[in-house]
Structures are given as structure tokens and as C-alpha cells.
Chains A and B, each alone.
Chain A
Amino acid sequence: MRSVDVVIVGASLAAAAAAKRLVDAGLETVVLERKELPRHKICSGILSPRGHRFLLENFGPLPRETLHEPTSCRGVTFHFPSMVSMPMDFFGGSTPHLHRKYSDHWAIQRSGAEVHDQTSFAGLDDKGDHVLVHARKHGESVEYRARHVIGADGPSSLVTKAIYPDYTKQIPWFFVGQKFHDIIDCPLSPEYFHFWFHPGLGHYTWSHARDGRQIVGVGFKRGDNFAKKHQVVQAYLEDKHGVRLQPAADDDEGCAENFGPSLINRYVFGKGNVLVTGQAAGFLNMIGEGMSCALHSGAISGEAVVEARVRNRPVQEMYRRMIASEVRRCTDQWNPVKIAFDRPHEADFPAALMELGWRDRAKVLRDMWRFIVLFKEFKWGRQMARAALQRPLIGGYSMQRWL
């Protein structure tokens, strides 16, 4: 049995950030990845500028092969059913359009950690002073003994499931899928990520250019039909925006997402010697960008392990106190009071709104309200209002709600 300081499950950006902090501090770190690296990853790839800066500072300049074409994204354009469109540039300039297959591989290599790919996490036993991690490689059992385990294995986290078996049943799940089309004619600017606040199209509808094709993406409550939802969006884009596309290629893809925890401050940070981070913990910025908070929360999980060892304190205590800043930043993005009176996002929505005429402003606010009503069934409203109230009173969000 291999004995190491830390086992990280997943070879994502969160894992790379955690590994970087651990390896820097001289801790023996092994990363377990289910697939063979470099592995495909379903993602829009539009990283926020804050995430870009993190990658640059910690792993160095991005190599060209870690980027799709177009290599950058200038900002986000919101579209509304009333046919008002609001382009918003990112603060600080364009941001990378990551090719996750290669960017994740590059980052995990740059972290300096030892990577065991084609090794599936199968379970763990927290023994108090160490954790036994069970895995499978090429059908055979492999075991690791680690002081700490970091789960950075995405929204459908097996590590979270291992420590909270009922968690996945307690939260609503969404399906997010994207199809790729050759373009006949597309008036949507390839420089922007386009997002529709349209309740008729789904919970999460987006489109942007990639490698000469147009992505049409839809997100909806799990259980609905991907093909039908996609068809509706494609027809809408053609009808309302004049986007004419070839039928979708057969390399469409989709995955399960849990974007409730950030809204209602219901994160999962682990138990005992097991930390959960990145999207597995529930971090997701508004407009579904999870990479920048995955990088920062991943780094914090690594720092927490180092701090816990240096200070001889429980790792959960360290992690939860240190992660509070990232929780504030991420949940602020969903906090209506912050959105109205502050600038929690990396593009200036209030300024873009004020540039519109008062009629269009009213239409936008009405359309946004109708879109928000679509989420009524999840009963997040009161929890969000409570969190928004807490924010100025305690200077953050309550730790009591975290798992």
C-alpha cells in the first residue's frame, strides 16, 4: 500500500491548484484520475479573468494548445425575450477560451504532483489519523494510505458521495448539454459568450463560437429531453437572431450539474480528514463559470492541509475558516443586494443596464423576473433572502449551513 501525505481525487483545475500548494510545501501528493490523461472535459471553457490571473501566477503563461479558437472571449452578452441585448466586456480585458482537455493536463503537470491516471476512486475509510483510499486501476484494486484526502472530482463527486451518501438525493440536479454546429450564417459576435434569460428556452441557455463551429447549449432540470430542448433553442436562434446552422454534429455531450449550493450558501466541505473542493463543494459563479472558483477553492484546500499541519489544528477547522473568503466572493455573485448595489461580477451589469433607455431597462428587469420565476419550484428564494440579509450583519455567510 502506498503511503502519502495527500491523495487528491480528480485531475481538474481544482486538483491542480490544490496539488500546487501541497507540492510547494514539500508534501507528497498523489492525484487519482479515472480517465487516461489528457482527458476530454465537458465545459464551455470560458474562464473568468480572475481565473486567468490565477493560472498565470501559479502555473505560468498558457501554452497555445491549451486554448480553443477563438483563443479569447471579450465578455458576455445577455439576450432577453423582449429582444434587448446587453453586451458587457470583462473587467481587465479578454479572457481565455480554454481547451479543457489540454489546459487541465498542463496545469496538473505544472503542479509537480504525481498523477495516477486510469485509476478510479472506489471509496475511503477515515481512520482518524489517516485515511485509507480504495481505488481501481485496470480492474485491479489499489489502496493508498493518506493523511488527508481532497475530493476535487466535479459536481457528481464520488468523494462527496462516500462521506455523505444521501447528499445527491437532497439537491436538485440539472442536465447541461451542448451540441456543435457548422455555421451557415451567425450574426452573434464570436467575441462574446451569449446567454439567454428566456424561461421558454430552459434554465440555462447559451451559445458561442469554438473552432469554426457554433455551440448551442441548453441546461434544464434533470429528466427533460435534451434533443427536444436543443431543437427549441436552435429554432429560436434562427427565428429571432438569424442564426442559421447546419444540423448538429454527432459529438454532442452533456453532464449533470448542481448549481444550487452557491445560491443558498449550502456548500459541502467534507468531514474529518477529507476535504471537498471546487464544483464538488458546490462552487459555481453566475452564468455557470466554475473554473475560477475551482482554482481558488482548490488552492485553499491545499493551503488548509498545510496550515493544519503547521499549526497542529484540525484540517476542517482550517479549511472552513480559510474558505470563507471564497464563499463570500462566490455567493455574492448570486446575492440580489450585492448585484444591485455592488459589483460582484467580473463584468459590469449595472453599468450596462444604465446604458439602456428606461423602456429597455424596464423590459430587461421584467424579463429577468420572469426568468427567475422559472426557478421557483426549487424554493431557493427565502434561503437567498436570508443569506442576503446575513451578509451585512455578520460580514459574510453563515458557516452553519455548510456540510
Chain B
Amino acid sequence: MKLFPVEPGTVGPCPVAPDALQGIKRQQTNPARWNGAGWQDFVAALGNAGVELAEGTVACGVYATDAGGTAYGMPHGVVIARSAGQISLLLKAAQSHRVPVTVRGGGLTTEGESVAFGGVLLDMTGMSRVLQIDAAALTVRTEAGIYWHSLAEELRRENLDYLSAPLNLTSSVGGTLGVGGIDVNSARLGCSADQALSLQVVTPTGEIVECSDSENPELFQRVILGYGQFGIITAATLRVRPYTPLAMRYFYYSSLRTAIEDLQMLDANDASDYSGILTIMDCAVNLLVAFDSDEREAVFHANWKSRLRGYGEFGFALCMAGHYALRPWKFREALYLLQRKREVFPEFRRPEYMRDGKMHDRSVVFSRAVWKHWGSRQMVIPDLATSADKFIEAVERGNAVCRKYFAHYTLYCVGIKLRPEHQPHYEMSCIPPDAEGWAYGCEFEPMIEGGVYSRDHFQAFKNAIYDIGVDLGASYYRFGGMMKGYIRRVFGDALVDRHLAMKRRADPAMILNRDVIF
């Protein structure tokens, strides 16, 4: 049988029946391994250009999978990023030889977006220097392969801090700006991508371009939250702020709905500097709020604390004791709750990160806790991002899906303040098109607890979550990999085809981060 190549991004007719797999587009979402056509010529061209390429199982095997741990792929060769000039040479050669290039920062994608199914894997962590800190203007210029944690270390020396970044020690600046990036202060400061003032980008055809809202704004709008389709971010200028330790307060709820209502009330009234929800079980929900200053906390206590319907730790313990005393057959659930309390709570109060009752280095505290007590070998975290009014329904439906697939799971909900002037950045991104003021995101994270599951089991779970997004007209934190199957379903063909046309103009051979969304 003669196999014809499929043009990336296209959706063919369905020869089966118009009503087959209702709503699902006719696209292969688990990409085929690139066939290696012209690889040797490409290697020779790179050699002539002086770009170092590592081949072989040992060099490539390190990059076999991402944090999601469900997609495995092997690049033909690996290039460690050294400079924008080197990346430019790489992309020019890849464009002329039609060799796919997959870019990887911290490798924290969960759907195989940073896994190379053949071709070149470009490891951006080689470009991880902070270039300039301007304490007066509150900006930093940094290479994009740096981890947020390393950037925070450098900023602390100047008594500065980044605005918001994923609570994860090894996510890179460039990767985050390409997808969103959520922190517990996003309800106040927006997503990480919103703090970028300007970027140095290497386009898919190899040009090195500086872009911002005033300089090459179209490229800037496409690269920010663009899932790596329109260029590789090599350096970024970010807004920063004076460093402050934070005072963390916890409120406990037995109802997810009530906790979300209170979270949205706090966000709408700017009542705290940090806010988010972490669930332990359906009946044990933690609303955390935190403050950068005593003044802000005092205002919270005076005006807003009394309106929260959650309990303090002791009050909630009494409630739970009463709840399980009346339901002795649920003793396993109670034991699990106690065990989680014993394990997780001290993580947020470790003495090395606490001084005078305030938490220092929140990124370290949260990241440690996430990896130790939520993440496992695999990060399986499908998510939904919706407008404020659809959020409760989305979370409750997602929670029901979690219950069906896993014994234990946790939900992480947070608000994302939107910036009206950044509306062009948000087009076809994780920000839901109908969100105004705030978008809300929820991650659904099963506790894998040393279990081994098939990719199919995880995928069925994720699809069930993502289908809620299609149903509600929501969006997702992370598009890519398997999300290729959802982007048209969520945003419609007209918008996706417009972006596809732009992508084809920018990347004629469609080499850069192929199969992530197109």
C-alpha cells in the first residue's frame, strides 16, 4: 500500500462516516517517528557550520521522555544550546534539509511536547546565564534556558524576586513564556508569560529578532503563549519586584464549591497577595492565602477573614473527627487523611525556610512539596482553564472524573489575573477566550503512589478531563502533544487555520516543534 505523507496541521475528510467519532478531528495526535531522510547531509551541513551535534544512544537516551512519562521518543541527535547565533545556524540548516527540531527546556511537559520523535533535540539548558539585573527599573535580562529557581537565586542577591513562575524547580523561563506559567500569586500578578517585556527570538528560518509590544509586536504576540511554534526564545527581559517573605494562612473546607466561591471572592476584592486551593480529598479542601506584608494581612483580618466559611486547623480537625465518628466504615479514608496531614503539613513549615513565622523561598518550599508528595515518577496533570463563572462546574465535573479513575488525587486551583492590553497574546492560548478579569485554572492530579499504569489508562483519564473543556468552551494550561487533538475542537477551525497559515509562512518546512499543536 502506498503511504502518502500527511501535511502537518491538515484535517482530511473522513471516509468512515460523517458521524464517526463525533467531534474528533481526523488527525494523528501521537506523531510518527521522523524517517531520517537526508539526516547525513544535515549532519555534514551542521559540521561545516561549526554546530556541535551529539549522536548515539547514550547522548539521546537522556531525552527519551518528559515529565509526563507517557510518550517516549528518540532524537537522531542532540544539540546543546550555546548562543542565539548557534541556534540560528541550526535552524537554517534544519529548514533547508527539512529536519524536525524539538526544543526542550526543563522537560516538564506532560504530553510529550518536549520529546523528539526523531530529528534534532535542542536542549536549551545550555543557555542559562542571567545577563543583566536592573534593580532601579525592576527588570532582568536572562537567557531563556535558565530555570526559574536559578533565576530566583540570582535575583535574591539583589533583594529581588520574579513576579510569578510555576511552582517547580526545573521549569525553564523560555518554556514557561511559551505556555503560560501559573503561581499562587497569579490571581494578582497574572501568568508568568505576562511579565515578559521583550524577547530575543530565533525564528524558524534562523533570523535573530528582538521583539516586544512596541518592536515586532506581531512576533511577540505569537511567541508569547505560542507553544514554541513561531520561534525559539533565547533571551527574555522580565519585570521583577522587591523580594518579600510571605506569611501563609490556611483555611479548611469540607466542600469544594464553598472553597472556590471563597477563593473567587478573595481574588475579586484583592484581599490577599497569594491564594489557591489544594485538595487532599473531596471532603478535605485547603484554601491557602498569603501576604507580602503585615499591612496587607491586617486589612485581610479586618475586612475579609470573617467572610470566609472555612475552618482553622483545630476546628476542621474536630469536624473531621465528628464526621468519621458517625461513619466508622470509612476508617481507611480517615487514616489516609491523617497520613497526608502528617506527611505534607510539615513540608510547608520546614524550619530552614521559616523565619519569624514567614516563609522564605516559596518556590523551593512548594516545589519540594509538589515533587515529594504529589508528583511521582510521572507528572499526570490534565487541567482546565475557564472563565470565573464556569469554574465551579468544571472543577466538580473534573473531580468526578478523578474519582472514577483513581483512588486518591489532588486538585490545585488558582486564579489568573488577565491584562486587557495583552488580549492579542491570549489568542489561541491557555487563556479561555470568554474570560474577563480573571481566568481560573484547575489541575487534576492523581496520586500514582508507586503504581504502574498504561499510557492508555492515563490517556483515557486525560481525555475525560479535556472533554469537559470542549463541552464548556474552556481552555487548558498546556496545549501540545496529545492536545493537538483538542485545539481545533476548542477554538474552531477558522482560528486554528489562521494560525496555521501564519505558522506556514514563518516555518515553511514546518520543522519547529512539529506535532505539538499543528
- In the complex, which residues of chain A have a beta carbon less than 8 angstroms from the beta carbon of B57? 26
Q: Is A139 an interface residue (CB 8 A)?
A: no
Query: How far is it, in angstroms, between the C-alpha of A23 and the C-alpha of B455 when the chains are bound?
Result: 16
* Interface residues on chain B, size class: 35 or more
CB of A322 within 8 A of CB of B28, answer: no
- In the complex, which residues of chain B have a beta carbon less than 8 angstroms from the beta carbon of A323? 454
Interface locus among B18-26, B94-102, B152-160: B18-26
- Which residues of B453-468 have CB atoms within 8 Å of chain A's CB atoms? 453-457
CB of B30 within 8 A of CB of A67, answer: no
Nearest CB of chain A from residue B350's CB, rounded to whole Å:
30
Nearest CB of chain B from residue A320's CB, rounded to whole Å:
9
Query: How far is it, in angstroms, between the C-alpha of A56 and the C-alpha of B16 when the chains are bound?
Result: 11
Nearest CB of chain B from residue A146's CB, rounded to whole Å:
17
CB of B33 within 8 A of CB of A93, answer: no
Cβ 8 A contact of B1, one of A38, A59, A67 = A38
CB of A92 within 8 A of CB of B22, answer: yes
For the residues of A in contact with B, the DSSP-based class is helix
Nearest CB of chain A from residue B307's CB, rounded to whole Å:
41
Query: How far is it, in angstroms, between the C-alpha of A69 and the C-alpha of B210 when the chains are bound?
Result: 56
The answer to whether A56 and B21 touch (CB under 8 A), given A25-B64, A64-B15, is yes
CB of B15 within 8 A of CB of A299, answer: no
- In the complex, which residues of chain A have a beta carbon less than 8 angstroms from the beta carbon of B117? 24
One digit per residue, 1 when the CB lies within 8 angstroms of any chain A CB and 0 when it does not, for chain B 448-484 equals 0001111111000000000000000000000000100
CB of B1 within 8 A of CB of A60, answer: no
Nearest CB of chain B from residue A306's CB, rounded to whole Å:
5
Nearest CB of chain A from residue B387's CB, rounded to whole Å:
27
Q: Is A65 an interface residue (CB 8 A)?
A: yes
Q: Is B14 an interface residue (CB 8 A)?
A: yes
Cβ 8 A contact of A24, one of B14, B33, B485 = B33
Q: Is A303 an interface residue (CB 8 A)?
A: yes
For the residues of B in contact with A, the DSSP-based class is loop
- In the complex, which residues of chain A have a beta carbon less than 8 angstroms from the beta carbon of B22? 92-93
Query: How far is it, in angstroms, between the C-alpha of A306 and the C-alpha of B454 when the chains are bound?
Result: 12
Query: How far is it, in angstroms, between the C-alpha of A136 and the C-alpha of B500 when the chains are bound?
Result: 49
CB of A61 within 8 A of CB of B452, answer: no
- In the complex, which residues of chain A have a beta carbon less than 8 angstroms from the beta carbon of B72? 21, 24-26, 303, 306, 310
- In the complex, which residues of chain A have a beta carbon less than 8 angstroms from the beta carbon of B28? 56-61
CB of B33 within 8 A of CB of A23, answer: yes
Q: Is A161 an interface residue (CB 8 A)?
A: no
Query: How far is it, in angstroms, between the C-alpha of A326 and the C-alpha of B29 when the chains are bound?
Result: 21
Q: Is B60 an interface residue (CB 8 A)?
A: yes
- In the complex, which residues of chain B have a beta carbon less than 8 angstroms from the beta carbon of A56? 21, 24, 26-29
CB of B456 within 8 A of CB of A71, answer: no
Residue of B nearest to A91 (CB): B22
Point out which of B20, B57, B74 has the most chain A C-beta atoms below 10 A from its C-beta: B20
Query: How far is it, in angstroms, between the C-alpha of A61 and the C-alpha of B16 when the chains are bound?
Result: 9
Query: How far is it, in angstroms, between the C-alpha of A299 and the C-alpha of B454 when the chains are bound?
Result: 9
Q: Is B35 an interface residue (CB 8 A)?
A: yes
Cβ 8 A contact of B17, one of A24, A94, A306 = A94
Interface locus among A105-113, A168-176, A226-234: A105-113
CB of B16 within 8 A of CB of A95, answer: yes
CB of B452 within 8 A of CB of A52, answer: no
Query: How far is it, in angstroms, between the C-alpha of A61 and the C-alpha of B35 when the chains are bound?
Result: 19
- Which residues of B13-51 have CB atoms within 8 Å of chain A's CB atoms? 14-17, 19-22, 24, 26-30, 32-33, 35
- Which residues of A318-333 have CB atoms within 8 Å of chain B's CB atoms? 318, 321-323, 325-326
Nearest CB of chain B from residue A352's CB, rounded to whole Å:
18
Nearest CB of chain A from residue B81's CB, rounded to whole Å:
22
Q: Is A264 an interface residue (CB 8 A)?
A: no
Point out which of B21, B71, B454 has the most chain A C-beta atoms below 10 A from its C-beta: B454
The answer to whether A94 and B1 touch (CB under 8 A), given A58-B28, A318-B452, is no
The answer to whether A322 and B1 touch (CB under 8 A), given A26-B60, A57-B29, A61-B12, is no
Residue of A nearest to B460 (CB): A325
- In the complex, which residues of chain B have a beta carbon less than 8 angstroms from the beta carbon of A154? none
Known: A49-B20, A56-B28, A323-B454; 9 extra A-B contacts, CB below 8 A, are A26-B33, A26-B60, A53-B24, A67-B16, A71-B17, A93-B17, A110-B3, A306-B72, A321-B451
Query: Which residue numbers of A lie inside 8 Å of B, CB to CB?
Result: 20-21, 23-26, 38, 49, 52-53, 56-65, 67, 71-72, 92-96, 102, 105-106, 109-110, 112, 296, 299-300, 303, 306-307, 310, 318, 321-323, 325-326, 395
By Cβ-Cβ distance, the 3 closest A-B pairs, closest first, are A26-B74, A72-B17, A60-B28
